[in-house]
Structure 1
C-alpha cells in the first residue's frame, strides 16, 4: 500500500493510493495530530510517498514515530532524470524536484517544518511525480535494477535521518582528556592551544621568520623557500620528502592544528550533547551515490577521536567493515570468474600473491588501485599488465568506462546511476583541439583533460556500484535489527555509517545476533545486486566497547 503525504496550508494531506497511483482516500490532518495518524497507518506496513524524507522523518522521530519504508521523490528524481537506463521522465528539469538540504537536527524540528522545507509541493504534485516516476521505471531498460536502486536510496534517506536522531555514543570527558594531553589547556577565543603555540615558535625560530603565521599557506611557503627548501606546496606528503630541521615540528604542528580545527573544543560543544555525537548526513550527496556530511564531520572521524566513542553501560558496539569492497564489486559487474574466485578466499590481495599475479600484498593493492583509478606510471603502471593478463574481464570493464569518459560519453552503475556529462568548457576544449588550426599546446591540454575525465568515469562505475551495494546492505540491516527485538527495554540501533562501514550499538546480550545480522545482510545485498554470481563480500566484524579497539 502506497500512502502519499504533503503539506496543505496549516494542515497535512494524507492519501492512500490505489493500484494506478491515484488517491483512493484522502484525509486532512492537523499538524498536531500528524504523528499519531502516521503511527496508525504504519501498522498496515505502507510505503510512504513524499517529496523529501529529510523534511518529514525528523519530526516524526521527535514524536516517537519511525516508519519502515518510503519513496523519496526528490532523491529518486535525481537518479531517474540522469539515468541512461531511463527513456524519459515526464518531470525532468522541473525545479520543484531538485534535491533539498536536510532540515538541521539541531534546530529541534516541529510539525510546522513539513511545509517549511517544501512550500511549493502539494499532494497533487506528489501524486503526479510519483506516477511519472513509476512510468519512467516501467519503461526503462532495466526496471528491476532501477526499482532496487530507488528503494535503497529511500531507505538510505530514512537511515540518514535516524543516524542523526540516535547519535553515536560519545564520552565528552574522554575527548577533553585527549585534547588536554595533545594540545594543552583550552585556549581563549582567537588564541592557539599551548602545544600549538610552542610548535609555532619553534617553526619561526628554525625558519628565522619571527612574524610567520604557520596557518597561512602562502606565507609559510614563502618562508620555506627563503630557507632553501625546494617545495611547491606545504602539503604533508611533499614536506615529508625534505630533509630540514623545520620538517618535524611543522608536520607535528599541522597534525595538531587539524585536530584542533576539526575536532577540538568548539567541535565538541557544537556537535556532542547528552553523551551522543549527532552529525548531519546527506545520503547520496556525492555524484557517485556515496554519502556526504553537512556538519560535524561525520565522514571524517579520525582515529585520534575514536577512543571517545564508547557504548553505553551494558551495551557494545558491533563494528563491521566491508573488506576490499571496490575490487569485489568490479569482479561482479565485469563477471570476471577468476577475480571472483580470488574474492572467495578471504583476503583478495593475498590471493593475488598466492596466484603469482604479483609478488607481495603491497604490490597487489597498488596494482588494483591503479586499475580502479587509472594510474599508468610508476609501480602501478608496471604492475597493471600482470593484472590484465590474470583478470582480463575486470580490467577491460574499467578500461571501457575510461574510454567512454575520454570521448565525453556517460557511464552508468550496475543499478542505473549515470555519471554527469563533462562541463561545457571541457567539450569546447576537445572540439577546438580537433581543429587543424589548433595549437599543439591546446591539443596536449585537451588530451590531458580527456584522460582526467576518463579516470573519473573509470572509477565512477565501480565506486558508484559499491555505493549501491552498501546502501542495500544498510537498508537490509536496518530492517533486520528491528526483528531482533529488545533486551531490558533497549534495542540494537544503527549509530554510524561510512561508505563501507557500519556501527551498531546493541545490548551485550544481542551482540552475537547482531554480528549474524550484519553478515547475513551483506550476503543478501550481494544477491540482490548480482544474483547468483559467485563473488564473496567479506566483512571484518568486531564487537567492542570502545570504537578505537576495533582496529
Structure 2
C-alpha cells in the first residue's frame, strides 16, 4: 500500500500537488493537478488502495464527497500530531520534544460543501511532508509502535466517517418532528411561547404568587423562588426536585419543555434539517479522552422526546446498535481480570456480577461498577467498593493506580497510547508547595483535595479513552464491511457506544450481522484473544425511538 500526499502549491492558485511516497515517507514522484480535476484523479487512484495523507480531513474530504468521491483510508496529520505530541509511547521523539508549532493549533473549519479548496480556509500550516516524516519517526521509535499505529489509523478513519456522516446526513422527518413538538408544546408560535409552555409558565407564576415573573431569567427566577420561601441556592433541576412546594412539578415540567424548545425546537429544525437530513458537524477527538464532540447541531444530545423524527426512508431501515456496559467490559479486558471477564460473558454484565454473589441486586452492581470507574467516594457506590475490590482485584487495582497517578500530577494513558494532559502550571505549583518542608496545613489540604479531583479524572480517562478506541475500531471495521453490502448501507450516527446505519430494508439483517461481527473484531484488534465479550443490543427499526 502506497502513501499519497495531497498538499497545496503555495506558488500557484487553483492547483494541488500529489506526491507518491513509500511507507517510510520517501518520494517516488509527484504531479500537479488542477483543483477542478482533483476529484476525478482521486477516484482513479483509489483503485490502487492508497493511504491518502493530508493536513486535515475536515478540510480536504468534504469537497471530494460533494463530487461523489469516497476514499478508503487516510492519515490525518493534524489529528495524528495531537496524539503523538502527548503520548507517553512517543514522549522522547523529536515531535514530542519540539516547541509548539503550527500543527498544534485547532482544526481548520470545514469548507462550504461543493468547493474544491479554492475557498477552503487557511492554507496548510507547515510542510506536510516534513510533518509526515516526523510522525513516522515518532511511531517507529515509540515504546509501543503497534498500538500507536492502530490508534492513528483508527483516529484517521474516524475523521473520514465523521465527514461521510455529515455529508450523507441522518434521515429526518420534519413532519414527524413538528407533530412531536406540537403534541408536547402546543402549536408553533411566531410571537411568543407555545400554548402548553405558556400554560406551565402561568402555573409557576401562580404557585409563586408573582404574575409578572420572567421564568427565562435565571436571576429573576431565583429571586422569585426565594421570595416565595423556597430555600434554594440555584434554579437547577436537582435543587428544585427537593422542594416541598406547589411550584415544584410545574417548574420542573416547564424547564424540561423550555430546554426542548431552545435546543431542538422549530428554530433548531429550520437551521439543521434540510432536504430530509440532519447534518451535524462532528469533531473527532474533540474531548481529551478521544471521545467525539460536535461544533454544531447537538447530535450527541438528541433527547428521547424527538427521536421519533429520525425515520428511515421508504424501503429502508435503521439498524441501531449500542454496546452493553462498554466501559466495564473494557476495564475487564485491560486489566486481565478473569473474574470480571466471566461476569461480562453475559449479555448483562451487571446481572453477571449479581449471579457471582458479589452484590444482591443489579442496581447495586451498577452503582459499584460505575463508582470504581468514576471514583465515587460517597453514597451506595462507596459502600459497595470493598466487595468489588475483593471480587475483582486486578480491575480495581488498574483504576486505583490511575487515580494515584493523577493525584501525584502524573499522566496516564489509554490502551493504545492516548495520554492525559498534565495538570496546569498552578496545580503543579500547588503540589510542589504542599510537599515542601513547613508547608501550610491549609495549602496541604487544598492540594490533597484538588489532587483527588484530578485523580478521579485520570481514573476515568484510562477506561473512557480506551472505550473510545474500541468504538473507533468498531466503526472502522463496520465501515469496511458495509462497502461489501449491496445498496450502499451507510453509517449516519455515532454516540460514544452507539451507532446507526441507514440500510435498504432487504439487506438490514445482513447489516445487523456486520455490526455484531465488527464488535468482535474491534475487541480482538485491541486486546487479542480476550475472554471478554463485547455484547451489543441491536435493533432493526423504522424510527429511532423504536430502538429504545
Q: Do both share a fold (TM > 0.5)?
A: yes
- Comparing 158-167 with 337-346, greater Cα deviation is found at 337-346
Partner of 1:377: 378
Give the aligned length: 542
Report Cα offsets for 1:388-424 as digits up to 9, x if no partner: 0000000000000000000000000000000000011
Q: Which residue of 1 aligns with 2:547?
A: 550
SS at match of 1:318: strand
Please name the residue that 1:403 is paired with: 404
Per the alignment, residue 98 of structure 1 pairs with 104
- Equivalent residue for 2:458? 457
Q: CA RMSD in A?
A: 1.4
Alignment pair present for 1:75 and 2:79:
yes
SS in 1 for 2:305: coil
**Aligned to 2:36, what secondary structure does the other structure show?**
helix
Q: Which moved more, 1:203-212 or 1:169-178?
A: 203-212
Q: 1:31-50 CA deviation, whole Å, 9 max, x = no partner?
A: 11111111111111000001
* Cα pair 2:59 2:110 within 8 Å, conserved: no
Superposed counterparts of 1:174-185, under 5 Å:
174-185=176-187
How big is the shift at 1:438? 4.1
In structure 1, runs of 5+ residues without a counterpart are none
Q: How far off is 1:119 after superposition?
A: 4.2
Contact 2:4 2:52 (8 Å CA) reproduced:
yes
For 1:518, the equivalent position in structure 2 comes to 515
What pairs with 1:55-454 in structure 2 (closer than 5 Å)? 55-91=59-95, 92-101=98-107, 103-104=109-110, 107-113=112-118, 116-121=121-126, 125-188=127-190, 191-454=192-455
Secondary structure of the residue aligned to 2:304 is coil
CA deviation string 1:279-324 (max 9, x = no partner): 1100110000000001001100110110011000000000000000
Question: How far is 1:436 from its partner?
Answer: 4.8
SS of corresponding position for 2:20 = strand
CA drift at 1:25:
1.1
Q: SS at 2:475's partner residue?
A: helix
Show CA shifts across 1:112-140 (max 9, x none): 3575243444xxx1111111111100100
Q: Distance in 2 between matches of 1:526 and 1:118?
A: 39
Structure 2 residue 529 is matched with structure 1 residue 537: no
Whether contact under 8 Å (2:171, 2:277) holds in the other structure is: yes
The two structures have a TM-score, normalised by structure 1, of 0.96
SS in 2 for 1:285: coil
- Measured in 1, the distance between the counterparts of 2:355 and 2:60 equals 52
Contact 1:103–1:109 (CA<8 Å) still a contact in 2?
no
Return the alpha-carbon distance in structure 2 between the equivalents of residues 420 and 57 of structure 1.
29
- What are structure 2's unaligned runs of at least 5 residues? none
Distance change (3 Å), C-alpha of 1:509 and 1:296: same
**Residue 32 of structure 2 corresponds to residue 31 of structure 1:** no
1:420 & 1:540 partners in 2: Cα distance? 34
For each residue in 1:141-168, what CA deviation from the matched residue of structure 2 results, as whole angstroms up to 9, or x when unmatched?
Answer: 1000000000000000000000000000
Structure 1 residue 503 and structure 2 residue 505: aligned? no
Shift in alpha-carbon separation, 1:94–1:484, aligned structure 2, 3 A: same
Question: CA 1:169/1:205 → structure 2, altered by over 3 Å: closer, same or farther?
Answer: same
Given that 1:398 and 1:459 are in contact with CA atoms closer than 8 Å, whether structure 2 keeps it comes out as yes
Query: Aligned partners of 2:38 and 2:93: how far apart in 1?
Result: 31
Q: 1:104 to 1:175 in 2, by over 3 A?
A: farther
Higher mean displacement: 178-187 or 87-96: 87-96
- Output the CA distance in 1 between the equivalents of 2:106 and 2:68: 24
CA distance in 2: counterparts of 1:69 and 1:88, whole angstroms: 28
Report the Cα offset of residue 223 of structure 1. 1.7
- CA distance in structure 2 between the partners assigned to 1:440 and 1:222 by the alignment: 38
Could you say what secondary structure the match of 1:459 adopts? helix
Which moves more between the two structures, 77-86 or 90-99?
90-99
Q: Kindly provide the CA deviation profile for residues 19-61 of structure 1, in whole angstroms up to 9, marking residues without a partner as x.
A: 4312211110011111111111111100000110010100000
Q: Counterparts of 1:473-512 in structure 2 under 5 Å? A: 473-486=474-487, 491-512=488-509
Query: 1-side partners of 2:458 and 2:125: how far apart?
Result: 36
**Residues 161 and 529 of structure 1, relative CA distance in 2, 3 Å threshold:** same
Partners of 1:70 and 1:155 within 8 A in 2: yes
Q: What is the DSSP-based 3-state SS (H/G/I as helix, E as strand, rest coil) of the residue aligned with 2:6?
A: strand
